[in-house]
Structure 1
Amino acid sequence: MNSPSSPTFSICVYCGSRPGARPEFADSARAVGQWIGRQGGQLVYGGGRTGLMGLVAESTRAAGGRVVGVIPKALVDKELANPLCDELHVVDTMHERKAMMAHRSDAFLALPGGIGTFEELFEIWTWRQLGYHDKPVGLLNVAGYYDGMLGFLRDSVREAFMGEWQMDLIRTGEEPHALLEALREDVPRHAKDDRLAENI
């Protein structure tokens, strides 16, 4: 199936380069990719072909979506760069990778993953807090994977290291399609500008 030449919605997905232990993780990755493709959207992701990363990309393309991968030279072999991307950008550093992914996206979504996924989520959330962007950020809590982290974050609010307004900057959900729809609906409410390119 051909990819759309002008995607209606470009979303950056952060997720694991491993599949994880539960089948629900893979199911959610496929569901996210299928939704993106069926909506005529574009996936922006880390450019790998293994684990949940590979499943999201494969499912997006199979459903007719466009795939943009961004991967550092040092990870091309380790994460097995996906040659089936419509665009595959090989960059020098992780900083360049994350900056390009952020700039090319209308919204951000984190699926289950490891420390790389956590770091990407917290960075894009922090950038929003600092005013470097005003794009919607989502967290897909598949099979309760993020329950512990969300509990810890609520503890941080209670201990006065965070404010409720910071928690309000991220949208959480357990069902892929509902969360993706909510993120897409949020996009027109947020200004599109070049602050990401200028400040990161």
Structure 2
Amino acid sequence: MKKIAVFCSANNNIDPIFAEKTKELGEWIGKNSYTLVNGGCDLGLMESTAQAVHENGGRVIGVVPSKIEKNGHISKFLDVEIPCEDLSDRKQLMIVQSDIIIALPGGLGTLDEIFTVAASATIGYTNKKVILYNINGFWDDLLVMLEGMEKSKFMREPVSEHIVNAKTFEELCNLIENS
């Protein structure tokens, strides 16, 4: 059974289309009997994904930093809770616990997670890629920046070796199934 780490926003004040697409992904993960690995928080896209996976028969592993626990924001949809100290610990545990890594729209934390995976892969700490689920073109500007870095020879390998763009839900599902 594949374990899919999902990095994403824990913010509730975002365009509802992101929650809709996230729920669709969570339903698909659950119905296909995959396991979701997430940050264990009960807010934003993190919670909507966990709820959809849980309600559709999948398992949810939450890697929960002590501050999230202290603030009472642990998702009630976790089947397994892995406590950790901070965001660095959470990120590393999520990478280790997963077979596939997806980044949904998010903020600074999500960017940190994407670049940790990609940078680690460039020097051989992991062979995992990050699949950007590019809902409504959310990641387009980032991809342009990365392509510019590649063209300017600031990357030794093509960015696509470490970061993959899924423009549609169908592309995303195909990438998961063929990983």
Residue 8 of structure 2 aligns with which residue? 15
RMSD: 1.7
Matches within 5 A, 1:153-168: 153-168=146-161
Residue type matched to 2:93 in 1? M
Pick closer, same or farther for the CA change 1:112–1:78 going to 2, 3 Å. Answer: farther
Of the candidates 36, 50, 55, which is equivalent to residue 48 of structure 2? 55
Instruction: Find out whether 1:81 has 2:74 as its counterpart.
Output: yes
From the superposition, tell whether residues 73 and 162 of structure 1 become closer, same or farther in structure 2 (CA, over 3 Å): same
Aligned partners of 2:162, 2:88: CA distance in 1, in Å? Answer: 23
The secondary structure found in structure 1 opposite 2:178 is helix
Work out whether 1:100 is the aligned partner of 2:78.
no
Tell me how far 1:22 sits from its aligned partner: 2.1
- Note if 1:175 corresponds to 2:168: yes
Q: Could you list the per-position Cα deviations for residues 84-136 of structure 1 after superposition, in whole angstroms to 9, with x for gaps in the alignment? A: 30011221122221121111100100000000011001101111111111123
- Say whether 1:25 aligns with 2:18: yes
Where does structure 2 lack aligned partners over 5 or more consecutive residues? none
Q: Confirm whether residue 46 of structure 1 aligns to residue 19 of structure 2.
A: no
TM-score (norm: length of structure 2): 0.92
Distance 1:175 1:11 in 2: 18
What is the TM-score with the length of structure 1 in the denominator?
A: 0.83
Q: Are the structure 2 counterparts of residues 125 and 184 from structure 1 closer, same or farther at C-alpha, using a change threshold of 3 Å? A: farther
- The count of corresponding residues between Structure 1 and Structure 2 is 179
Residue 63 of structure 2: SS of its match in structure 1?
A: strand
Matched, 1:138 2:120: no
Identity %: 31
Query: Which runs of 4 or more aligned residues in structure 1 lie more than 3 Å from their structure 2 counterparts after TM superposition?
Result: none
For each residue in 1:164-193, what CA deviation from the matched residue of structure 2 results, as whole angstroms up to 9, or x when unmatched?
52333221112234313313312xxxxxxx
Distance (Å, rounded) in 2 between the aligned partners of 1:172 and 1:149:
11
**Distance across 2 between alignment mates of 1:57 and 1:47:** 8
CA contact (8 A) 1:18 1:52 kept: yes
Asked if 2 retains the 8 angstrom alpha-carbon contact of 1:9 and 1:184, the reply is: no
Aligned residue for 2:144, secondary structure, equals helix
- Aligned ranges 1:114-153 → 2 under 5 Å: 114-153=107-146
95-104 vs 109-118, which moves further: 95-104
Mapped partners of 2:99, 2:20: distance in 1: 24
- Matched AA of 2:94: M
Give unpaired runs (5+ residues) of structure 1: 1-7, 187-200
CA shift in 2, pair 1:31/1:87, >3 Å: same
